[in-house]
């Protein structure tokens, strides 16, 4: 009998999701049914939105007690009862936090394994990462040449890519990240124009120094006080794009909203939120352009990888403590 080692939800977190909220266990798999595919999972995506799936109710899909944690993954087909898939095919999809995933073949997408490691399809080419950044910049934020454009959580997966695309489009990009190592990463590796260390700098004061005419565009992944600091420095006709709010996900019943929102009215600025799946017709163009940049080496995204499925609960904690640079992944086996 084939078994999978999986991470399941043991109890719902009421604050930070720590390893004691999960159980890692071996589960026997039923025989494949017609149309199903079994995938050997190589990498699992660790995403901030996963925290919102553990509440029992909310915008995203929810994980039931005792159920496998929902997560995107990449791997190769190891068994197939679906005509369109054969053993060895490289795939991406909602494989869950486990070592072997059994899913309907229709739920998978084939990936190009000639571009590099399969992990690329969760990072630069992933829906929740690179595609989200591309859509957020190109379809929502739309920075213009010469704009002062600020990105929060800029050393994380989405922020890293978003900042590089805004830079390509001619903006002067300022990243906000935590710690001197991440600041160096933004400046030396990703080519950001400026960087602010929120752990040691007064973010509002630094924005005033770096953007004396105001912030034209802000791509926000954090919310909370960082959002307020930018709103206080927003330019006339500026735009705030809400991609995420990782500072709020541990307590979704007590969201800290922006206290500086009246700056929007004072400066005729706007705020708009989005999710990549709101733009289904733009996903393919996004992946094609991102793949071109990967092929020519003109885009970078670091990876922080934890080895072994047993470390998935730890990986979630690492994310919310700001311990990763670039894309956070778990190597399943």
Residues 135 and 258 in one domain: yes
Q: Give residue 27's pLDDT band: very low, low, confident or very high (50, 70, 90).
A: very high
Tell me: do 135 and 244 sit in the same domain: yes
Structural domain includes residue 293: no
Q: Are residues 65 and 178 in the same domain?
A: no
> pLDDT tens digits, residue range 222-258?
999 999 999 999 999 999 999 999 999 988 888 888 9
Question: How far is it, in rounded angstroms, from Cα 57 to Cα 102?
Answer: 25
- In whole angstroms, give the CA distance from residue 92 to residue 72: 7
Q: Residue 283 domain-assigned?
A: no
**Total domain count, the chain:** 2
Q: Note whether residue 287 is domain-resident.
A: no
13 and 142 both lie in a single domain? no
In the structure, what pLDDT confidence band is assigned to residue 47 with cuts at 50, 70 and 90?
Answer: very high
263 in the same domain as 150: yes
Confidence of residue 333 (pLDDT cuts 50, 70, 90): confident
Domain harbouring 101, CATH code: 3.90.180.10
Mean pLDDT lowest among 47-56, 57-66, 205-214: 57-66
- Say what percent of the chain tops pLDDT 90: 94
pLDDT at 327 over 90: yes
Q: What are the tens digits of pLDDT across the range 281-324?
A: 999 999 999 999 999 999 999 999 999 999 999 999 999 999 99
Q: Are residues 15 and 146 in the same domain?
A: no
Angle 218-220-223 from CA coordinates, rounded to 5°: 125
Look at residue 296 and tell me if it is in a domain.
no
**How confident is residue 56, by pLDDT bands cut at 50, 70 and 90?**
confident
Identify whether residues 66 and 98 lie together within a single domain.
Answer: yes
Residues 172 and 221 placed together within one structural domain of the fold = yes
Residue 201 inside a domain? The answer is: yes
Residue 288 belongs to a domain: no
Asked if residue 1 has pLDDT above 70, the reply is no
Nearest residue to 325 (alpha-carbon basis) of 204, 207, 175, 193: 175
Q: In this structure, are 175 and 305 located in the same domain?
A: no
Averaged confidence pLDDT in the chain: 96
What are the DSSP calls for 148-208, one per residue?
A: EEEESSTTBHHHHHHHHHHHHTT-EEEEEESSHHHHHIIIIIS--SEEEETTTS-HHHHHH
Q: Are 305 and 117 in contact (CB under 8 A)?
A: no
> Is 13 among the domain residues?
yes
Domain membership of residue 259 as a residue range: 130-277
For residue 151, give the CATH number of its domain: 3.40.50.720
Give 162-185 pLDDT, tens digit per residue: 999 999 999 999 999 999 999 999
Whole-prediction pTM: 0.95
Beta bridge partners of 20: none
Same domain, 113 and 136: no
């Amino acid at each position: 009998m084939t078994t999978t080692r999986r991470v399941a939800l043991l109890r719902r977190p009421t604050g930070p999701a720590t390893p004691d909220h999960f159980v890692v266990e071996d589960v026997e798999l039923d025989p494949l049914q017609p149309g199903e595919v079994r995938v050997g999972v190589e990498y699992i995506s660790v995403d901030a939105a996963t925290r919102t799936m553990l509440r029992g109710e909310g915008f995203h899909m929810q994980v039931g007690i005792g159920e496998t944690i929902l997560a995107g993954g990449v791997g190769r087909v190891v068994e197939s009862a679906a005509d369109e898939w054969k053993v060895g095919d490289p795939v991406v999809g909602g494989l869950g936090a486990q070592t072997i995933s059994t899913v309907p073949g229709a739920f998978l997408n084939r990936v190009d394994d000639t571009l590099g490691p399969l992990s690329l399809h969760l990072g630069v080419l992933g829906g929740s990462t690179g595609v989200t950044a591309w859509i957020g910049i190109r379809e929502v934020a739309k920075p213009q040449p010469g704009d002062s454009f600020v990105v929060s959580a800029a050393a994380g997966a989405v922020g890293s890519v978003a900042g590089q695309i805004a830079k390509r489009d001619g903006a002067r990009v300022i990243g906000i990240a935590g710690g001197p190592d991440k600041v160096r990463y933004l400046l030396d590796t990703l080519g950001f124009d400026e960087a602010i260390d929120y752990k040691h700098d007064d973010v509002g004061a630094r924005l005033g120094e770096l953007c004396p005419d105001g912030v034209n565009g802000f791509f926000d992944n954090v919310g909370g006080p960082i959002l307020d600091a930018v709103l206080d420095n927003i330019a006339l006709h500026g735009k705030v794009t809400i991609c995420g709010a990782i500072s709020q996900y541990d307590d979704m019943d007590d969201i800290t909203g922006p206290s500086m929102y009246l700056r929007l009215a004072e400066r005729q600025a706007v705020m708009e939120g989005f999710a990549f799946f709101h733009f289904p017709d733009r996903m393919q163009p996004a992946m094609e352009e991102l793949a071109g940049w990967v092929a020519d080496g003109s885009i970078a995204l670091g990876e922080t990888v934890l080895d072994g499925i047993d470390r998935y609960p730890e990986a979630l904690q690492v994310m919310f403590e700001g311990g990763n640079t670039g894309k956070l992944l778990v190597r399943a086996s």
